[in-house]
Amino acid sequence: MSVLTNIKRKMFSEQATPYVLLLPAVIMILIVVLFPLIFSLYTSFTGYKLTRPDTLFKIVGFRNYVRIFSDWDFWVAFFRTVGFLAVVINLEFLLGLGIALLINKVTWGQRTMRTIMMFPMMFSPILVGFQFKFIFNDNVGILNNALQALGITDAAIPWLVDGWLAMGAIAFAEIWMSTSIFAILLLAGLFAMPKDPLEAAQVDGCNAWQTFRHITLPFLMPFAYIAMTIRSLDVARAYDVVDTMTGGGPAGRTELLWTLIARTGYDSANMGMANAMAYVSIILSIAFTYYFFSKLVAARRYMGGAQ
């Protein structure tokens, strides 16, 4: 009895209160995040097949990882994903910046423009995938028919077959769908921007480019890095677009980590191997997130006048 009273007293002591209050959140995080992470890490050392629960206990050691490290196709998909992320995120940033600057200049109908700008985000990625799949279809697609009708080409351009063209088509669809995320965040940055430095720059005789380069852009960079961090994690949404448009093919030419892992884990039911692939690819997410956060910290420091 006295022991219980002791525990109660300790639990409700003033020092313990913050920990007790945090406990539900910690428990939730453990259940929602940590447990699945540990479970999937465990399964990556097994020959776990989704359709055969008994294989959950079939330990195969590092075999899945050994196969991944010697699998050329996996590493091609890995570095293709790095390239895709780098190109798509940078282009989305540039286009989003342009749209944000233009909308910021609009004095009439700005709210309507902002709403219209967000339309592509409202479509499901699967619908976007189907839409662009038919636009880029070599035989009955709108694009080839338009190019042929305008006399620009008399060939059926294999948009979704040629490796570079197919990646370009997928990147185009992804950029179309998600550029507005950058535009919205950068527009928020522009709205929050103080007018004094801009007026001071004008008084000092800076031209438009100098004002943009040395005042507007540095102010916007923390917003840009936040957007990039979000997008680098969120761009995996592109799975549906890639899966619908090319399925990672033909001949693996547009294979990204997400299509490879999903096919291995779900279609082939080889979840042990898929989780091992996912753990190796986490390196990619950590690298991108670390890079953007370090850039964000640097940009904030710059804005704080440390440099």
- Contact residues: other proteins, CB under 8 A: 47, 50-53, 137-140, 144, 148, 154-161, 166, 245-247, 249-252, 263-264, 266-271
CB of 252 to other proteins, least distance (A): 5
Identify which of residues 8 and 52 has a Cβ nearer to other proteins in the complex.
Answer: 52
Q: How far is the CB of 160 from other proteins (least distance, A)?
A: 4
Shortest Cβ distance from residue 17 to other proteins (Å)?
A: 38
Which residue lies nearer to other proteins by CB, 98 or 247?
Answer: 247
Nearer to other proteins, 69 or 290 (CB): 69
Burial of residue 271, with CB atoms counted within 10 A of its CB: 0-12 exposed, 13-18 middle, 19 or more buried = buried
Shortest distance (Å) from residue 91 CB to other proteins: 23
Six token digits for residue 12: 């409700």
Between 144 and 179, CB nearer to other proteins: 144
Radius of gyration, CA atoms only, the chain: 25
From the list 224, 232, 231, the residue with the least C-alpha distance to 190 is 224
Do residues 303 and 101 lie in contact, with contact meaning Cβ atoms separated by under 8 Å? no
Q: Where are the beta strands (DSSP E) in 149-195?
A: none
Long-range contacts of 208-216 (CB under 8 A, 24+ apart): 216/190
CA distance 299 to 218: 7
CB half-sphere exposure, 287, CA atoms < 13 A: 10
Cβ distance to other proteins smaller for residue 184 or 262:
262
Residue number, 120 or 252, with CB nearest to other proteins: 252
- State in angstroms the smallest separation of the CB of 135 from other proteins: 12
Nearest distance from residue 49's CB to other proteins, in Å? Answer: 9
> How far is residue 280 CA from its own chain's centroid?
17
Alpha-carbon gap, residue 44 to 293, rounded angstroms: 29
Phi, psi of 123 (to 5 degrees): -80, 145
Q: How far apart are CA 281 and CA 75, in angstroms?
A: 10
HSE, side-chain direction, 13 A CA sphere, residue 50: 13
Between 260 and 296, CB nearer to other proteins: 260
**Would you say 50 or 190 has its CB closer to other proteins?**
50
Least distance in angstroms from the C-beta of 164 to other proteins = 13
Q: What is the dihedral of CA 104, 107, 113, 115, to 10 degrees?
A: 80
CB of 268 to other proteins, least distance (A): 4
In whole angstroms, what is the distance from residue 183 CA to residue 307 CA?
Answer: 27
